[in-house]
Structure 1
Amino acid sequence: MTMPEEDTNVMRAVRALENGASSVRLRAAMAVGTSPDPRFVDKLIERCAVEPEFFVRDMLTWALTRHPASVTVPRLLDELRSERAQARSQALHTLSKIGDRRAWPAITRALLTDADDEVARSAWRAAVGLVPEGEEAGLAAVLATQLGRGARETRLSLSRALVALGEVIVPILRAAMAGPDARVRQHAIVTERLLRDPDAGFEFAVEEAKRLVALGETGQEG
């Protein structure tokens, strides 16, 4: 029995998404996004968890955003419980791009404090984009527990997430500035500097924070 041409095209696209050449996988993801079909969703999500190339993963995410949220969001929420870090981080990234606020309850404290930096960064970005009005302070309090974490990229990502929440972060940062950990104090100062002067630049803010911490100051105003 001959397979219908439509099913043959689906199978061809699925095979292309698994091709050994990243250029072929990229074109396949672009083609799937250009002509969305719910039958592709599971495969796209499966590939997000294992795709080694960033630019292909980004195209996979784009392809998923082209499909109905009613189909993609439940599957992406399932991925947040995956043992594979890349599956969790890419699902969070995709949910942030879709912007469906039904995903908010699934962005748990466990994800916001995930041991994997890429998962945590993706969770921070998604949470800031999806947080309901009135819950910003609670989110900021959880994010503040991560101050001082990781290398430059992680610290910058956290500062950006906190700054995006606005003035609600100020008392939380002030409390962190008074804490015993110099790294946390420095990161809190950097973040407040960026809130007050977004054009200052992260490196400038870091150098200023180092100076203040070395002097035993916090930069707090009366």
Structure 2
Amino acid sequence: MLIGEVARRSGVSTRMLRHYDALGLVRPTGRTVGGYREYSAEDVRRIFHVESLRSLGLSLKQIGLALEDPAFTPSALVGDLIRWTEDRLEREQELLKRLRAVDASAPTGWQGVLRIVELMQGLDSTSAARRQQAVLARPESVAVPAELLAGAVLSESDPHVAGALCWALARSRGDGVAMLAAGVRSEDVDIRRRAVRAIAGMSEAPGATVVLAEALGDPDTTVREHAALALGRRGVTAAVPTLVGMVVEGSHDVDAAEVLGTLSRDPGSADRITTSLVDALAARTADPAMRIRVAQALVELSGTTVPEVLRQLTHDDDRAVALVASAFVAVLEERFAEDRADEGS
């Protein structure tokens, strides 16, 4: 069968068939008297074999190895194809994300498009300083899609860059909290932590309290603690159990005690907080270090029963606990005297 007939039946152009011949992939078995290529039935089957492998994404060099190398196994070939395809899809997904980000910015001219592309390239840098600079150097006139900033926040590991991104997200036109909320529900604990930290910093944003309240039930301690601190500063008493637990465990206990003190200004919450801390003191696991932390938290509270609890601690078996409690009792008495003096003036 001559090359023209093979091309017509196989759908492979004569130019490609000559290229296959030059590479040694499919060489015609014979030649006519006039020197024309003549393909046998086996040659045609090999052409279809080459085309099948090409359809899977193999290069011509890889096809040559697959056809000639006895050690080139189908399982290895398929495994390589899977990895190459996954890499290609990842690159195409990244390209799609970039195109959508540019489209979402609603650019009116090429200058706006170039600014967004420049920002995305800066955020892809391996240098944290360059990523931060890319965010902070953005001109005010360039509208950056909130989706782009939120996605960068959830993937950013450097706290300084994350802070700059959160600042930019808060100033963007989109609903940053709604876009970060998906991160709070991520299976990746690092993403959940970043999302909660970012939302905690958006104190005035609508919807933040609802998302943070959901995070109080997170299985990760760090996520719960960040949510509790942010909610407590907003006056949400649902955070009290987590905040008390932070004091007991010694995890950001100073911050937790400060927030509990703010919440205790509400008379209805003061007794509840004091009772929770007293219950912790009564637990068998209340070691001296923990009793000192509880005492430090109690002195921040506004409850009327606090002085009596601290006086009881002045008789603690551990000398360090007793001394700390005595010092706090003196602080409360001084505070009480100053309040009385202010009332009389």
Q: TM-score, normalised by structure 2?
A: 0.49
Pairwise CA distance, 1:13: 0.7
Match of 1:42 among 111, 123, 147: 147
Whole-angstrom CA distance in 2 between matches of 1:211 and 1:158: 26
Task: Give the structure 1 partner of residue 117 of structure 2.
Answer: 11
Find the aligned partners of 1:63 and 1:210 in 2 and give their Cα distance.
50
Contact 2:189-2:220 within 8 A present in 1 as well: no
The number of residues matched between the two structures is 198
Q: Structure 1 residues 64 and 212, CA, compared in 2 at 3 Å: closer, same or farther? A: farther
Q: Select which of 106, 112, 116 maps to 2:211.
A: 106
Distance 1:190 1:109, change over 3 A: farther
Alignment partner, residue 167 of structure 2: 62
**Aligned-CA RMSD value:** 3.4
For residue 101 of structure 1, report the CA deviation from its aligned partner: 4.7
Match of 2:243 in 1: 143
Instruction: Structure 1: give runs of 5+ residues left out of the alignment.
Output: 197-208
Contact 1:18 1:25 in 2 (8 A): yes
Aligned counterpart for 2:263 among listed residues 165, 169, 187: 165
Q: 1: CA distance between counterparts of 2:119 and 2:297? A: 45
Residue 64 of structure 1 and its aligned partner are, at CA, apart by: 1.1
Q: Specify the structure having the higher radius of gyration (Cα).
A: 2
Q: Secondary structure at the match of 1:26?
A: helix
CA distance in 2, matches of 1:94, 1:72: 9
Query: What is the rounded CA distance, in whole Å, between the counterparts of 2:218 and 2:315 in structure 1?
Result: 28
Q: Pick closer, same or farther for the CA change 1:187–1:101 going to 2, 3 Å.
A: farther
Q: How does 1:1-222 map to 2 (within 5 A)?
A: 4-32=110-138, 34-35=140-141, 37-39=143-145, 41-68=146-173, 71-99=175-203, 100-108=205-213, 111=216, 114-117=219-222, 119-131=223-235, 135-136=236-237, 138-151=238-251, 154-167=252-265, 168=270, 169-183=273-287, 184-195=290-301, 212=316, 214=318
CA contact (8 A) 1:96 1:126 kept: yes
Structure 1 residue identity aligned to 2:121: R
Structure 2 counterpart of 1:127, one-letter code: L
1:182 aligns to what SS in structure 2? coil
SS of equivalent residue, structure 1 residue 8: helix
8 Å CA contact 1:178–1:185 kept in 2: the answer is: no
Give me the identity figure in percent: 19
Whether the 8 Å CA contact 2:180–2:195 is kept in 1: the answer is yes
Residues in 2 aligned to 1:63 and 1:187: alpha-carbon distance in whole angstroms: 38
Query: Which residue identity lines up with residue 282 of structure 2 in the other structure?
Result: A
Instruction: Give 5+ residue unaligned stretches, structure 2.
Output: 1-108, 303-312, 330-345
Which TM-score applies when normalising by structure 1? 0.71
The whole-number CA distance in structure 1 between the counterparts of 2:317 and 2:149 is 47
1:101–1:166 CA distance, 2 compared to 1 (3 A): farther
